[in-house]
Amino acid sequence: MTTINRKIRIIPLLAAAIAALVAWGAVTTYILVSSSTDNAPAMSPMVEGGVQNKQSTSTLPARLLIPSLHINASVQHVGRTAAGLMRDPSNFTDVAWYKGGPEPGQEGSAVIAGHLDNALGLDGVFKHLNDIQTGQDIEVRTAAGGTLYFRVTDIENYPYTQVPEDIFTKTGGSYLNLITCAGVWLQQERTYDHRLVVYTTLIQS
């Protein structure tokens, strides 16, 4: 095959890929310009509160493990967008911990988010998070090599405009809340219509 013919065959493939990305709107925007604070991810809820804790590098979360779902993911540390949204992880294999709140294991509600899928419909790290069950355990490995154990206490689906603020603000214990997209894709709003939240409580550190 000549070089010209190879180029002719590749161009439609590139065009199809770009079209698929454009169709996913805000998610695609975040992938392509993830360093910009002006592009709000479609998944994340508003961050109204959360306690800013003094953080030690050695106790920061490094990996999230969910044995029942065969998840072993690297943990990114993220803040807010200019719109006040928690930033999503910059890829679809990692999860993201909101560094404006407590570390997992500290007093309060730590929050970790992960993608359901990507702009081409391939599975994200939390694709099967809805299969988790109450009573199952979640592990967080720290940068120092320690392990924190959490147990699932509740699983809820919320309309994407009605995610409760207390996933960031609840105190009275050490909690880890996982969040991802759920439901059906709303093309006009460029987001899924629900958010799945998995609530867990620290059981051992």
- CA atoms lying within 13 Å on the CB side of residue 72: 2
Which contiguous run of DSSP H or E holds residue 79? Answer: none
Q: Are 182 and 43 in contact (CB under 8 A)?
A: no
Q: Which two tokens stand for residue 107?
A: 């007093």
Averaged pLDDT for residues 77-88: 93
Residue 59 confidence (pLDDT): 85
Which residue, among 17, 60, 75, 27, has the nearest Cα to 192 in the 3D structure? 27
137 exposed, middle or buried (CB, 10 Å; 0-12, 13-18, 19+)?
middle
Report residue 137 as tokens. 């355990």
Kindly write down the DSSP assignment for every residue of the chain, as one continuous string.
--HHHHHHHHHHHHHHHHHHHHHTTHHHHHHHTTT-TT---SSPPB----------GGGSEEEEEEGGGTEEEEEEEE-B-TTSBBPPPSSSSSEEEETTSPPTTSSEEEEEE--SB-TTS-B-TTTTGGG--TT-EEEEEETTS-EEEEEEEEEEEEETT---THHHH--SSEEEEEEEEEEEEETTTTEEEEEEEEEEEEEE-
pLDDT digits 0-9 by tens, 20-61: 333 333 332 222 222 222 333 346 676 655 444 545 567 899
Q: Look at residue 147 and tell me whether its pLDDT is greater than 60.
A: yes
Return d(Cα 138, Cα 151) in angstroms, integer.
Answer: 6
Give the residue-averaged pLDDT of 108-136: 94
Q: Residue 105 pLDDT more than 50? A: yes
Structural domain count of the chain:
1
CATH code, domain with 50: 2.40.260.10
This prediction's pTM: 0.76
Domain that holds residue 80: 3-204
Band (66; pLDDT cuts 50, 70, 90): very high
Which pLDDT score, from 0 to 100, does residue 12 have?
A: 41
Residue 63: both structure tokens together: 């990996």
Query: Looking at the predicted structure, is the pLDDT value of residue 196 above 80?
Result: yes
Instruction: Decide which of 188 and 16 is more confident.
Output: 188
- Strand pairing class (95-98; 108-113): antiparallel
Instruction: Identify the residue with better confidence: 75 or 18.
Output: 75
pLDDT above 60 (res 138): yes
Average pLDDT for the chain: 80
Provide the residue type at 54 as one letter.
K
Rounded average pLDDT over 104-117: 96
